[in-house]
Structure 1
C-alpha cells in the first residue's frame, strides 16, 4: 500500500469503497482513498459527471460483476440523500453506508423510517470541508486534511459501522467528531449556513454598485464575500434541509440588526451626539470582538494573539516565495498569512502573523534585506 501524506500509517478502511455522487466531496474522497491504496467504485446519475470524476483519477465507474463494496459513501445533494442511502442499504446488504450531506436530522429520520432491519448499518456523517468551486474538476485529495469530520450515529447504528466511518475520516486525514443529528444541525447553522447567507447578502448589494465604489474594494470585502461564489442550487437544498436551525440564528441576527438600525436612524436625524446613539454601535462591535476570540486557533487549539509584520511585495513571479525564504532564513515561523491587493497597483501587502517577540527583529531584518516594511 503506497504512502500518502494524509495517511502516514496503514489505512484501516476496507475496500472496495463505492462512492455515490461524483461532485466535489465525492471525487475528493475518491482521490484521497485511491492515493492511500483503497479501491474506489464510482456511481453517479450523470454520465458526464461520472466520466469527469473517472478522468481526474477519483475511481473507476461501478459495473455489473464488481466486488461487493465494504463501505458505501453517499455524496449526493441533501434533497436526494435519504433515497440514495436507502437504495444503497438495499442493494448492498453487507456494506456499511454513510453519507456526507451537510444536514443530518431530516436525512436520519427518513432513513430510520424506511431502512427496516438494515438501518443498523447506516451512520450519518459530514466532513467540514469544501470550497467555492463545485464538481469533480475542483476535487482535491487534501480537501479533508486537518478538518473535522462529524460522525452522527443513529439509535440503531452498530458499533462496527460507527468504527468504519470514523476510520474513513481518519484515513483521509480528517479528525472524527461525534455529535447527535440535532446537535450537528444547530452547530452548522451557526458556523456554516448563516455565514454563507451573510456573505451572499453582502455580495448581492454589489449588484448595480457604481464602478467608483467597487474600485475602492479592499481585502475586507473580499474576505466577507469569499464564499458568496458558492453553488446556488446546492445551497438552496442545504438551507431547505436545515430551515429550522438556520431561521433561529437569523431571528437572533434580525434582533441585533433592528437595534443597530434604530441607533443609526437616530444618528441620521439627531446627529452623532444624540443620547443613546453610539452605545449600541460600540456594543455590537465589542460583541463581535468577543465572538471572534472564541474561534479556535491554529491546529484547533486555543486562539492566540500574534504580532503582525506587513511587507510590500512586488507583483512579479517569485517575489512572494523570496519573502517566505528570507523570513525562514531569519529563523521566524509564519503562523498565518493575509494578502491584500489594491486596485490598479502592481504591489500587494503581505501581512505575516508571527509570535509577538519576533516582530521588531523581523522588521529590522527584512528592512536590511531591502524589503519595504509597512509601519504599524
Structure 2
C-alpha cells in the first residue's frame, strides 16, 4: 500500500493516519468538520483534502450508522481503488452497504481493537494499535487485493490482523467491549447519588472499573444501538447472575452471615467465577505473525 485516505479524523482515524505517516505513507485527510481535518494535519497526520487521483486504500473512520452512506459517497467520487472501515460493529454496516448498492468487491470491514475513553484528534496516538488485534471481515465476493491492502493497513499500524465473520465479530465485541462499557457506565451512574465525603474515599479500583464510562455518549449510543441484540444477550445473562448475588446479599444482611450458608455459598461462587473468567484473558502480545485460534484465522 503506497497511498491512503482517511475519512473521519477523530481519535481512531487520526491515530491510523499518524501510524501511516510514521511508516512513510502520507494520508489524505477528509472530515465533515473541516476544522477536525486541519487539526489532524497540524498534528502531522497527513494532508487535508481529496487526492487528485485515486489512492490505494480509503479508511472510513466514522460511527457505524454512517459507514454505508460514506462508503457509497466515496466509491462514487473515485476516492480510492479499495475501501475498509474501522467501526466496532460489522454485520449491520455491511448489510446497509449492500442495500445502497456499494461495490462490496472493493470493500472489507475492519475493526482495530484499540481505543481510549477520550475522543477527537487531540487524543490520537500513533502507537494506539501496537500489538492489538485488528479484525477483518471480508465477504465471499471481495477481491484478494482488497483484503491484502486492509491487512497491510493493520500491519503498518503495528496490529495483528484477524479474519472473522461479521456476525461472529459482533457477538465477540458484545462480550469483550460493548456490554462491559454499558456495565461500567451504569456503575459510574451510581456515583451521582454519592456524597462528596464518600467519593473522596474512592481508590484506583473504582477508577479502573469506570474508566471507559467517560467515553463519547453519541458514539457509544450508536455503537450499542448498532449491535443491540448481541449486547442484550450478554447483559441478560449478566442480569441473572447479578439478581442471584443481590438475593444472597439480602439474606446475608438480615442477620449473622453464618446463619445463611447458602447465601455465602452463592456469593463465593460468583466471586470464584469472576476469578476464573479474568484468568482466561490472554496476555497482550507484541505485533508479529498472526495466530489461528478456535477457527479464527489471523493473517501475517
Alignment correspondent of 1:212:
197
In 1: Cα distance, 2:277 partner to 2:171 partner? 17
Whether 1:186 and 2:202 are equivalent positions in the alignment is: no
| TM-score in terms of structure 1 length | 0.73
Runs of 4+ in 1 over 6 A off after TM superposition: none
Alignment correspondent of 1:4:
none
In 1: Cα distance, 2:140 partner to 2:46 partner? 32
Quick one: structure 1 residues 68 and 185, their matched pair in 2 at CA, closer, same or farther if it must change by over 3 Å?
same
Correspondence for 2:83 among 97, 103, 106: 97
Whether 1:250 and 2:235 are equivalent positions in the alignment is: yes
For the aligned residues, what is the CA RMSD?
1.6
Alignment correspondent of 1:291:
277
Alignment correspondent of 1:42:
29
- Partner of 2:236, secondary structure, is helix
Alignment correspondent of 1:60:
47
Quick one: structure 1 residues 261 and 293, their matched pair in 2 at CA, closer, same or farther if it must change by over 3 Å?
same
Quick one: structure 1 residues 268 and 255, their matched pair in 2 at CA, closer, same or farther if it must change by over 3 Å?
same
Q: Any idea what the Cα deviations from partners look like across 1:92-143, whole Å, max 9, x if unmatched?
A: 2761110000000100111122235x22001000000100110001111111
Name the structure where helix makes up a greater proportion of residues.
2
Q: Which has the larger radius of gyration?
A: 1
Quick one: structure 1 residues 298 and 124, their matched pair in 2 at CA, closer, same or farther if it must change by over 3 Å?
closer
In 2: Cα distance, 1:237 partner to 1:136 partner? 19
Higher relative contact order (CA 8 A, sep 6+): 2
In 2: Cα distance, 1:62 partner to 1:204 partner? 41
Alignment correspondent of 1:9:
none
Alignment correspondent of 2:55:
69
In 1: Cα distance, 2:74 partner to 2:81 partner? 8
In 2: Cα distance, 1:275 partner to 1:170 partner? 54
Q: CA shift at 1:84, angstroms? A: 0.6
In 2: Cα distance, 1:298 partner to 1:141 partner? 18
Correspondence for 1:166 among 151, 159, 171: 151
Q: CA shift at 1:18, angstroms? A: 1.0
Between 213-222 and 247-256, the greater mean CA deviation after superposition: 213-222
Contact 2:58 2:80 in 1 (8 A): no
Whether 1:28 and 2:6 are equivalent positions in the alignment is: no
In 2: Cα distance, 1:178 partner to 1:87 partner? 26
Whether 1:235 and 2:223 are equivalent positions in the alignment is: no
Q: CA shift at 1:299, angstroms? A: 1.7
Quick one: structure 1 residues 230 and 257, their matched pair in 2 at CA, closer, same or farther if it must change by over 3 Å?
same
Quick one: structure 1 residues 93 and 220, their matched pair in 2 at CA, closer, same or farther if it must change by over 3 Å?
closer
Equivalent residues, number: 286
Correspondence for 1:106 among 92, 113, 116: 92
| Structure 1 residue ranges without an equivalent (≥5) | 1-12, 301-376
